[in-house]
A and B are shown apart, each in its own frame.
Chain A
């Protein structure tokens, strides 16, 4: 698969932070392609640049240098407003701390990005209902986030991320604030979404969950030091061999 077909194409992406007179190289030349429908996890120790990379992928931040093409469009030098528009349409976020808005109901939280997109209310309703149903939270639409468990809140966050049918889902330690049962459930949900065709890029430092992906990208000191196939890919390949054999 060539890079020109990739949903995400990063070439020589660098990110430098300046604090007083100290220069910190968070990313030191990242080359990364993510294909449509791929499930990639980014792993590495604390401070290796995982979250910085995810922020750049999600257009929350811009690279200091390098090239970033998202869905065939160069996005490294866009205005704030353009970045917001593309973020709204192309990217779905799942945060470690859920980041649901406490004053809004579950339904309204999921609806929020669609509202920013200017979608009409009938279409919004359809999308929100589908998204909530797909994560099994349809029955909690009128609840406030504070009335939900952590696992349920993260499922709502997933629904919010997928409601707009983005090109890619970016998940930043999505199980970090959950117990193992709820963590497993959320990972299962992501896997289901991936099976349904979603492209996912997940940052995690938990090796077990990283294995859920097709591909695991290991970061160290701002560089990709290793890429390996995840258990998901191996399962698929094993299944393929079994079928062929």
Chain B
């Protein structure tokens, strides 16, 4: 222990004596360890930390598989949920939720709140108790029961100031009275972070029997000892039974169970692991750089080590001394790294998926600190061990002579330094290629919406309460007045209403029948007659920048008194009328025999917009004039306003015009279309940004590595360079000698890096969009970029080499 303390003391003093070296090493390690700690903290929060529910590994989501219609994760209908719940043997319980929007009024500013309707067993199934009051009782989960509501913590704090007397208080939700029975604890969240309250789902007998309205999300708790695979098999068996018993409604549907964590974080698993590997590479490069510095330092400490050895220190004793110094360096680096990681948390919090946004806060918890401690030790060993052995290998006779023989490393040490630089270049190239591929993907994703000119479009949501706007005429009046008022505001180019703007809601489909095709004919083609249903105002497509490719758009003449018409997108035209002219064709929503639903005539074909997600295939889409559409479920909610200037500068004016029409109408989701796009690509954007930062860091470290090795080479070979100059070498000969050395190492690294990138970037396959992981342009571009940067790094020491004064070089010891 005493000798260890002496080692530490000596190590501290030795490092303090070389503040330049110590500072560079600590900064490099802080960046490497800090980046690893930061990314691990996200991995820990998203993939490792237990979900905030009781025994969360037994929780699964149960989905319908409607892949034939383009929905591999489809929401089941109530009757299907009921069958799953009553016919299973392997589940302890199952609960259902549905998404609801309420206008919260009567006790302050009207506020639009998102909520879940939940079955009474929802909270007990999750195993979470309320912070205040109680949760929903079975007798309250009935349509005729008194209406009750459970608040989330944030709403309780923000709207009711955390008042504990809120229990028993009545709220007005969409004009109906609800009694507050409980408040959930801070951080409680299930799936959607925007949910602010929970109400009983209250199935009616008729509602529970429905097999056509697919809108539920189902969560189940499997019994102890049951595997997800077994649960899956059972759900599929039940689903086959349902399909057999109800071929028309469910004949092509299947079902499956998905662990809740996979549901919440599954999409992030690969990107996070890619980032973890990336920061691992950065740390390896940092280690290689420090090892190089230590190797150079070892050469200058040869005499010190020789004296120690001459005084009786064994080789292992010397190695231990040097490793202690390495550990000191990595420990100080780790402490600085922890500070950097903490600073990054507010930025990285955006990587947390929405399903964990409230519950998973990034912090330096024991797991993260343990990880940092581990990599601190491993890092010290990785960068310190080889230089320590190198430094402790001494020819005492040679080293203790006056002058100590030629200072510098032996051939083995130089080869090692060169090999480290090659490895650094190779690792940096892999990261750069990865970043390059992600940047290209991101640009392609954003580029497909360029025609929308999204930065000039303001969007906001006005969900009209069903009780207040129960008649189509009432709704139409509201839309018409709002559009007239907003359209006449200065700075507004055009305005339109739609069920939803692209990407804001990824669903809302209807089955349809094509005139002249029997059900048998339709099924024979293997097509699913299912398309997105959008009710729009006449100017919506123009406002959004969606072109009319054929035929005409809607006009105000397309109203409730005129012939029912529709626009369809190009995908729908191509899919259902291949090789035919779709314009003039007729279809109707639902069953062809349903005489209450009119046939609609296609009057135009609109351009495709990737509306289901930036990387998801375009879904067939049908647009109807809102004046002709009776189905309130798809009634327009989203207002789009194209402006001449900054769209956000018109928010107050638009809000005012809406409140002129209906002072009680809540307005939510106020954002530009560019923000909608940004939210859609946020995690990709952040992942790409982080990988680019790490790749740039890797490039910087590798460049410093090349520079360091060459600068050391020049110092070490000053005498040789002097000899060459004395023998008549021109400056260009010396320049070329040093450049050649540096560029040979670089090229070797580039070749190895390209091979590594080809092998490793395959893991990025699922993150690519219209970009191949073997994209030759990216590979060539990155190789050139890295070579150029390396050339600059080589040039500086090479230029210094040309300034060697042969006289000084040849006369100095």
Contacts and interface: CB of A to CB of B under 8 A. Distances in A.
A160 interface: yes
Interface in B709-757: 719-720, 722-731, 733
Nearest to A83: B728
Contacts of B726: 58, 60, 87, 93, 99
A25 B725 CA distance: 26
Q: Name the interface size band of chain A.
A: 20 to 34
Contact of A112 (B406, B722, B727, B807): B727
A85 B810 contact: no
A93 B727 contact: yes
A117 B727 CA distance: 10
Contacts of B807: 55, 60-61
Nearest to A170: B726
A101 B726 CA distance: 13
Contact of A101 (B406, B720, B733, B811): B720
Interface in A99-113: 99-103, 112-113
Interface residues of B, number: 19
B728 A89 contact: yes
A28 interface: no
A60 B722 CA distance: 10
Contact of A160 (B722, B727, B806): B727
A169 B793 CA distance: 39
A99 B728 contact: no
Q: For chain A, what secondary structure do more than half of its interface residues adopt (helix, strand, loop), or is it mixed?
A: helix
B810 A84 contact: no
B806 A88 contact: no
B549 to A, nearest CB: 69
A114 B210 CA distance: 95
- Pairs A-B, 4 closest by C-beta atoms: A88-B728, A113-B727, A99-B723, A60-B807
A90 to B, nearest CB: 9
Contact of A85 (B406, B722, B728): B728
A116 B729 contact: yes
Given A60-B726, A112-B724, A99 B810 contact: yes
A81 interface: yes
A220 B724 CA distance: 31
Interface in B785-813: 806-807, 810-811
Contacts of A81: 730-731
Contacts of B727: 87-88, 93, 112-113, 116, 160
Given A58-B726, A60-B806, A60-B807, A116 B733 contact: yes
Nearest to A166: B728
A167 B727 CA distance: 14
A51 interface: yes
A122 interface: no
A108 B726 CA distance: 16
Contacts of A102: 406, 720
A88 B723 CA distance: 11
A80 interface: yes
Output the residue of A85, A89, A99, A100 with the most chain B CB within 10 A: A99
A68 interface: no
A95 interface: yes
Nearest to B719: A99
A62 to B, nearest CB: 10
Contacts of A112: 724, 727
Interface in A31-69: 51, 55, 58, 60-61
Interface in A64-81: 80-81
A103 B725 CA distance: 17
